[in-house]
Chains A and B, each alone.
Chain A
Amino acid sequence: MKALLASLILIFAAEGQLADPQEEARAQDLMREIRCVACENEPISNSGSDIAVDMRERVRELVAEGKSDEEVRNWFAERYGEFVLFRPSSHGIRGVLLWGLPFALLIAGGALAFFLRRRQTKADVKAIDPEDAV
């Protein structure tokens, strides 16, 4: 009877962590990337709503089963739609646009600035006293 009670308490405290600290850390990182479906713009790691508690538990279960990060994310995306992932997919035109545009802008902007300047500048440029300015 005592053992049963103890296990009941354990289940109640199942919000408790995974035994392996590395797995727990991985689970917590994933929880910060998965969106609570009942809240406004919150990851499940922050939310106190019941569904978030359930979702957190499911993350721990999947991690304990040895699923990779990608597999855990896919599991949630299949069940709730891609909306729950704060890390949107990088596949397809949409993904390439979203993930690639910042770096493309950086490279294109750098190249543009470099060539524009080279076209304007003539030979011989002298250094100016740097003390003159901040």
Chain B
Amino acid sequence: MRTEHLSGFDFGATDLDAGIFFETAASRLAAGGRAVAYFAIPEDGAFRLVMAVAFDRDGRLEVYSSALAGPFRSLTPSFPQLHLFEREIYEVSGLKPLGHPWLKPIRFNTPGAVPGVAEFFTVHGSQVHEVAVGPVHAGVIEPGHFRFQCHGEHVFHLEIMLGYQHRGVEKKFIGAPDARSIHYAETLAGDTTIGHTWAYCGAVEALAGVNVSARAQTLRGVMLELERLANHTGDLGALAGDVAYLPTSSFCGRLRGDFLNMTALICGNRFGRNMLKPGGVNFDLDYALIKELKLRLDNTYRDVESAVSLLWETSSVTDRFEGTGVLAKEAAEGLGIVGPAARASGVGLDTRRNFSCGPYERFTMAVSGSGDVYSRAYVRWVEIQRSAELIGGWLDALPEGPVEAECGEFKPDSAAVSLVEGWRGQICHFAVTGPDGKFRHYKIVDPSFHNWQALAMTLRNGEISDFPLCNKSFNLSYCGRDL
């Protein structure tokens, strides 16, 4: 296993002239690049635009930046994957992307903004009507506002308006790290504690030039895959519940908890809080704990297998899953969709493969082609199998060595991009340090930031009753997107 740290890079070297910046961005995106981050940093009374572009097949990242004081050229008309990034830049900096087709607030955090009060896409015509839902929903779930433009049950368009969970986390990283930073990372999205905290630790370690031991990396892998197992299992159960197939729904509800309890067995918390820290992990496994974990993993996995296999063998389930909420591969690529949702539409993107590091060498990803609810559910099931295999293998051959390393000062005027494949998809943390060696800026891109638009697309020409099913097949994060 490679344990050399990914190093931070000289941020000044990314600087381009504004004209060249937009030309480069456009040509690199046209060449198959995928924007993993695009944001504005305050600089000398104006701003600096920064874009990180990934070439997944080559496992390559490129970063460009340019100083900017006024309106700029929107690239969204040619590259829809940038639509929310540009809206965010506009909301944060006031710099207007000229030519953006649907420029409106995304977090309603500017003076005078009222959440949910903005222009909505509307459809007019005889008997066309609008269904509005939220921000307080019927279930125990985070807040958001959804508007369907319908004709009877038929949905023409769904527009999703979020921002209710905005609690101002990103800016609290500026001038850090401090004692609270790790807790911000752990609570960016509560069900993705390990994913986000690993991304945070990766950024810190790159900037501090610290190598994480093979044992600590493997333990992080165990935690990340347990997180994936818990969420995928829970979501397959919820999907079964949404098509009224109660056996799998009941079984998986309990089994999700069994995975969470395994996480708690390792670190004391069901969501993996207090496990990771820059330089390594807080808790090690001894022989007795490894034995106990293996036993529980085997039993729980066999129960999940029995619960989930019922889905594929029950015609009332497959009938509802197949052909519902199709996201075409072109749409998924065009919108920069990530995670199991992208893989279920045939996009070969998995950070564990494309940007393989730590314990994930020689990882093979699960890709399926049909892009419907069935495909998203099935990809999750294949990933459950893969995660269980990975954990089993790691527990059998845990590398010896320490589980923590000292993290020193950050390199000044540097930057680091940290990518982790969370259970929803690729998480990106982009950290920039100032001359004082503290965070000058910290940008977080949760997979949900990209993927909410995919959910909206799957509802087009569907039915309102497909919404819960499509929604669960993605199960996106509100707080991770709103930050």
A, B co-complexed:
no
